[in-house]
Structures are given as C-alpha cells and as structure tokens.
Amino acid sequence: MRKFSQVFLTNEGAAVRIAETACGIAADHLVEIGPGRGALTRHLYALRRCPMTLVEIDRDLAPKLPPQYPEARVINSDFLRVDLEKDFPSGRVAFAGNLPYDCATPILDRILSFPRFAGAALMFQKEVVDKALAAPGDPEYGYLSVMTAARASAYRLMDLGPGSFRPRPRVDSAVAVFSPLAEPFLPPGLEPVFARAVKAAFMHRRKTVLNSLSAAFGGEKEKAAAALEAAGIDPALRAQALAPADFLRLAAALRPAD
C-alpha cells in the first residue's frame, strides 16, 4: 500500500502549466501541499514571486527538500493540522499541489475557508473536480458544488490520465483553479447554517427538498415548509434544482433569531 495515498506527477508539461498558473496568482505567500519528490516544486520554486512554504507529511521526503530548495520554508506536517493563521499571520496566501485522493475534499474546504486565501491551482481525482464545478441540474451537482460556488470562482485547467503519474492510479485526475469571489457571497455568521442546509438537502437526493430538510431537522416538517416558503422555494423540488442563491435564502430563513 502506498503511504499517504501518494501518486507522483511525471508529466512535465502539466507541471509547468500548473506552476505558471499558481505563480500567476497575486499573493504574499505561496504554499505547496505535498511536494513529494518535487515534480511540481522545482517549477514553482523557479517561478515564485513571493516567499514559498512546502508542507510535506512524509517524514522520509521532508528532509530532502531544504537542500534542494534552500529559500523555501519546509513544514513536516499534515496540511490539515497546520495552523494557517499562526504560520501565515499576514498577507494573502496562494496554494498549489497534487492532492492525495483520500483527503483532497477536506483540504479544499480548508483552503476556501481561509480568510486570506488568494487563489489556488490544485490537482484532484477527476470526479472531485466534476463535482466541485457542477452546475444546478448536472448529475454531479451536490454539496461540494454549492459550497465551492459560495466561496470561490473556479474553472478546470486540464484533465490528466493515469499515464501522467507513477505509480499509475486507477482513475483520471484533473486540475482546477480557484479564485476568491469579488464580493463575499455569505453574510458574516451565516456559513454554518448555510452548510447545514445544503448538506441536509442533498442527504437524500431522490427526496424532495421538503422531505430532506424535515428528516435532517428532527422531523419538523412544518418548520422546513415555513423556511422554504419564506425563501420562495417550491417544496416539491429536489436539491439538484436549487442554485446557490436559493440555498442562501433558505439559510437566512433557517437562521435562528438573535
């Protein structure tokens, strides 16, 4: 079994393109998540326009990085355990990386939730990118689609087949680029209610949004119906038909009174 579900990028052209995209983001810090053997790192390091930090979980690989990239800071840790506010107390932070398949979604969630997120160029299992970029009505549209749209604008940079990696994965991969929204989509304090509403709505995809919400909120069908009515949402619709703006109105209707 591979440690940390690593697959190492071997496609040189893809590495250059990702590095050019990441280094084109206006930022005060650049963070690579999981540099591994450095296929992407060397291009990021050559093109960087700001201080660079490498976050590598592997205790065998991390010590090999400082001699090769002496001007980069190396943090030997799980990215999900790094205190971003402490390690990057000021300035805007850009992110890049070939993310491990088994924890790519929580890593993306952490990045997009970081208040000083400047942008990111990240590689995922293709299925994750399909879900993150899906629009209402698409088969892949779901919780990840809505939460991504509520925090960032995003586009697909490229798709990559198994032959671009060693060892060869059994799935295709894709790179997506994320940028902060020009104006915040979620009002302060509303995100927890918004996330809960979105998760509840998609928990039972074949049910109507009324039944899904009722099940998630303790069977309180009247409360769910009242919130949907206040938000102007047809209770007979399914979650796949609701746009992020619909969920925003729903969250506002579900928000407890101060």
- Over the stretch 101-128, which tens digit does the pLDDT of each residue have? 889 999 999 999 999 999 999 999 999 9
The stretch 200-208 carries a mean pLDDT of 91
Going by C-alpha positions, the residue among 50, 141, 47 that lies closest to residue 93 is 50
Q: Is the pLDDT of residue 257 over 80?
A: no
Mean pLDDT, rounded, of the chain: 94
| Cα–Cα distance measured from residue 110 to residue 106, given in angstroms and rounded to the nearest whole number | 6
Which residue reads 């994965």 in tokens? 169
Query: Above pLDDT 90, what percent of the chain?
Result: 89
Take residue 101 and report the two structure tokens written for it. Answer: 């398949």
| Cα–Cα distance measured from residue 34 to residue 77, given in angstroms and rounded to the nearest whole number | 10
253: Cα separation from own chain's centroid: 26
pLDDT tens for each residue of 124-180: 999 999 999 999 999 999 999 999 999 999 999 999 999 999 999 999 999 999 999
The residues near 86 (Cβ < 8 Å, ≥ 6 apart) are: none
97 burial via Cβ count (<10 Å: 0-12, 13-18, 19+): buried
Per-residue pLDDT, 258:
57
Domain ranges of the chain: 3-180, 191-254
Q: 9: pLDDT confidence band, cut at 50, 70 and 90?
A: very high
Q: What is the pTM for the complete model shown?
A: 0.94
- Superfamily for 3-180? Vaccinia Virus protein VP39 (3.40.50.150)
Q: Is the pLDDT of residue 41 over 60?
A: yes
Per-residue pLDDT, 27:
98
Which residue reads 């990840």 in tokens? 144
Q: Is the pLDDT of residue 237 over 50?
A: yes
The stretch 202-217 carries a mean pLDDT of 90
Per-residue pLDDT, 228:
96
Hey, what CATH topology would domain 191-254 get?
A: Helicase, Ruva Protein; domain 3 (1.10.8)
Alpha helices, H only, the chain: 12-23, 41-47, 65-68, 84-87, 104-113, 126-132, 143-151, 191-203, 209-216, 221-231, 244-254
pLDDT tens for each residue of 89-101: 999 999 999 998 8
| Cα–Cα distance measured from residue 84 to residue 81, given in angstroms and rounded to the nearest whole number | 9
